[in-house]
A and B are shown apart, each in its own frame.
Chain A
């Protein structure tokens, strides 16, 4: 069918026939109950809705379903089953980098995206890499530290 949108979500094949202008974040949260993807602004400014689409970090509030056709989308629910997540999870936990948690799924996916392209980033590169993801709670130090630890401890994963 012409208006069919096919894509992969957390490893499963999806056929979507709804409105192609629906935002990906609405689809994930509303139709799939994948509520780990958060909404902080719906304007592409905060990064709370970050997901990984074809190895790129994107703000899912800016992605129309039409654009998802043929893509592979990973949300925190899918990512949290991976070994890489386990390394990040442990690192974030060890420095208590999770406060209110609202930015955190997005932050974790931003970390993944950064480490995937740069497995041993400097502190400056880490800060740059997560600068599209706002966090109002932590002051970022602990998150930066956690990513440093994950890069170190999870060496070889990325």
Chain B
């Protein structure tokens, strides 16, 4: 381990553990208005009228007629209105906000509002939807020829479900309009996303909008695109009422009304010749929900990763994100990756089984190598450590002997083990950093020679503040106490881009390192100094062409190998996790504890995704709207999780660091799924896979 990797106390530790950290719901509420959303109860309907009760003084209703700027939330296509313009597109679509001084009274009044609807025909199944928000495709090699020459062709369908972020702190925003300026604060990952959205919705100029991050109680992507929507709604309410307005969701409203992981339907065809997969033809379909929000980028990542970690010379890929009348799906750790990595990993195990090979050996035969072409005909410019990591994990988990022992089991309890190999493309897709984000960071030194870090990156618990401070302190040779870092406020910090895409340490951290090197060179004791650094695109990258999807999709890749062992009770269907092993390569950890903590947390979410977390939208209404109906793992569910770090330095990341945050949420699910199929002796095609699904399989097999 490098010196920088040695763990230090986290900067945010003391305030959080003592309960003094201020989250959005913790601000005093004396002088503000409580807002509650008036939401559509119909999945698709024209809103003909809204009949309000008599509102007492100090109570306001805010809707589309009050939006001073454009009634559009700026995300990508800007199709999500701030408030329903004419047609409500999903249950929960926000028609207006009722705001007033007493929270209870607001709730009572809200129930008295009558909405007159003209119901329209909704669509709930993306396979039946004829609106594709996005439709992409690309090819590599000559898939047609490979299929024509194949010994055998496999075709399978895969499905994954909704996944809810279930951050412990719900979404919340406070906005205040004062002296011509809009101040927005809250639980948000990307201050500048909200900043730009609020500018558009209010028509205010950049200097007149300031967005500040409060301490965030978990996000995982759930506070990436969504706060732009909520931010606009609350800002418009503050604009109209001229009072600070606060909206903090309760758990039901948060689950029913905010973004989730896209459900997927994938069709995979594989051509196999001489025991080798020579071509894949893949059709990816993501359920976008009612508005396009982040679906474009989620889908892009999905179709880029759909071939997994394998070198398949011929590919034909199509991907669509289609509209349904359900709550819009958005960013979630892994960002389009978990769905397709589940599919490809399952497919590989099914083909291996048919060829009577062990699935791990079969996968290893296909793993891409350093300098091989990627799916999009870019290059793996750096070593691919999967074989070494597979070796580590098969040894740690006892994979081969267990796999052997779990053949032909009988009796009530059946065990199984599975292993998945995955990657996560580190940082923004394609040329995004260069063309769209253009990240900027600053270091400001004061007269006392303390140095403040100024970036737009937000601490959500992932440890980025501690990592940034370590990087800057190390380069300047300063004790960490002399490095200041406060939550970003767009009025003070430059736009270093959003806190997403596992880019913060790798990309923004490297800018800070370079800034610190310059500051050190130009250091003048007792003087104020300001150093600014701008993003530089890696020269080795093969430019990414769109819409051809050709070139380097990512500057580098983070890698993971995960194994999971299960025991299934064939009487009840209950799936018990006996062990979970993970090797993760996120480059040099800037702080070992922090990176391990990220891996453990993400790995557990991924296991939950596979076998616990089930959410269904029943005619567009989400009934699993609390912690008893949507089960996330507790401390007893995965008692034996072992995580280790494998380090392949990335020369362009600070000290060799690359993307970490999302990596652990990719491989856990396929490892669980393979373990279940190993235990039951069947092929699996969907997650989540719960006790009832086990019982279903057993019934269909006539009991095993």
Contact = CB atoms under 8 A, between A and B. Distances in A.
B463 A99 contact: yes
B54 interface: no
Contacts of B603: 139
A155 interface: no
A127 B594 contact: no
A15 to B, nearest CB: 22
B12 interface: yes
Interface residues of B, number: 60
A140 B219 CA distance: 17
Contact of A38 (B23, B29, B605): B23
A103 B28 contact: no
Given A100-B168, A105-B19, A142 B12 contact: no
A27 to B, nearest CB: 14
Contacts of B217: 38, 100-102
Contact of A101 (B9, B215, B636, B641): B215
B17 A98 contact: yes
Interface stretch (A1-9, A41-49, A64-72): A41-49
B101 to A, nearest CB: 14
A108 B593 CA distance: 19
A98 B10 contact: yes
Contacts of B597: 96-97, 99, 137-139, 142
Contacts of B170: 40
Nearest to A46: B627
Interface in B4-22: 7, 9-10, 12-22
Contacts of A54: none
Contact of A131 (B21, B29, B251, B635): B635
A89 interface: yes
A87 interface: no
Given A35-B26, A131-B635, A144-B635, A98 B16 contact: yes
A100 B169 contact: yes
Interface string B250-292: 1100000000000000000000000000000000000000000
A102 B17 CA distance: 9
A83 interface: no
B208 interface: no
A143 interface: yes
A36 B20 contact: yes
Contacts of B641: 139, 141
Interface string A83-110: 0000001001111111111111100100
B25 A37 contact: no
A34 to B, nearest CB: 8
B244 to A, nearest CB: 17
B186 interface: no
Contact of B594 (A96, A101, A131): A96
B601 interface: yes
A40 B19 contact: no
Interface in B157-187: 165-170
Contacts of A141: 600, 641, 643
B7 to A, nearest CB: 6
Interface string B626-661: 111000111110110101000000000000000000
B220 interface: yes
A110 to B, nearest CB: 10
A96 B464 CA distance: 13
Given A100-B167, A101-B17, A130 B601 contact: no
Contacts of A131: 634-636
B218 A102 contact: yes
Among B17, B28, B220, B627, max chain A CB count under 10 A is at: B17
A123 to B, nearest CB: 7
A43 B29 CA distance: 22
B49 to A, nearest CB: 33
Contact of B593 (A34, A76, A96, A136): A96
A70 B593 CA distance: 43
Given A93-B9, A99-B461, A40 B601 contact: no
B460 interface: yes
A133 B602 CA distance: 18
Given A99-B461, A141-B641, A134 B16 contact: no
B586 interface: no
Contacts of B635: 126-128, 130-131, 133, 135, 140, 143-144
Contacts of A99: 218, 461-463, 597, 601
A40 B169 contact: yes
B225 interface: no
Contacts of A46: 168, 627
Contacts of A126: 635
A97 B26 CA distance: 22
B110 to A, nearest CB: 17
B28 A33 contact: yes
Contact of A105 (B9, B10, B17, B632): B17
Contacts of A95: 593
Contact of A136 (B21, B22, B168): B168
The residue in A46, A126, A141 that gathers the most chain B C-beta atoms within 10 A of its C-beta is A141
A142 B603 CA distance: 13
A40 B606 CA distance: 21
A136 B16 CA distance: 15
A127 B167 contact: no
A133 B17 CA distance: 15
B495 interface: no
A105 B15 CA distance: 10
A29 B13 CA distance: 21
| Interface-centre pick from A38, A43, A137 (highest chain B CB count, 10 A) | A137
27 contacts: A36-B18, A36-B20, A40-B627, A41-B627, A43-B627, A43-B628, A92-B17, A96-B463, A100-B167, A100-B216, A100-B460, A101-B17, A101-B21, A102-B217, A105-B17, A105-B19, A124-B639, A130-B635, A136-B220, A139-B602, A139-B605, A140-B600, A140-B633, A140-B634, A142-B597, A142-B600, A144-B635
Interface of B: 7, 9-10, 12-23, 25-26, 28-29, 165-170, 215-220, 250-251, 460-463, 591, 593-594, 596-597, 600-605, 626-628, 632-636, 638-639, 641, 643
Nearest first, the 7 A-B pairs at minimum CB distance are: A36-B19, A101-B16, A100-B461, A102-B217, A99-B461, A139-B600, A96-B593
Given A46-B168, A137-B461, A138-B601, 6 more contacts: A45-B626, A96-B9, A96-B10, A126-B635, A127-B636, A138-B597
Interface of A: 29-30, 33-43, 45-46, 48, 75-77, 80, 89, 92-105, 108, 123-124, 126-128, 130-144
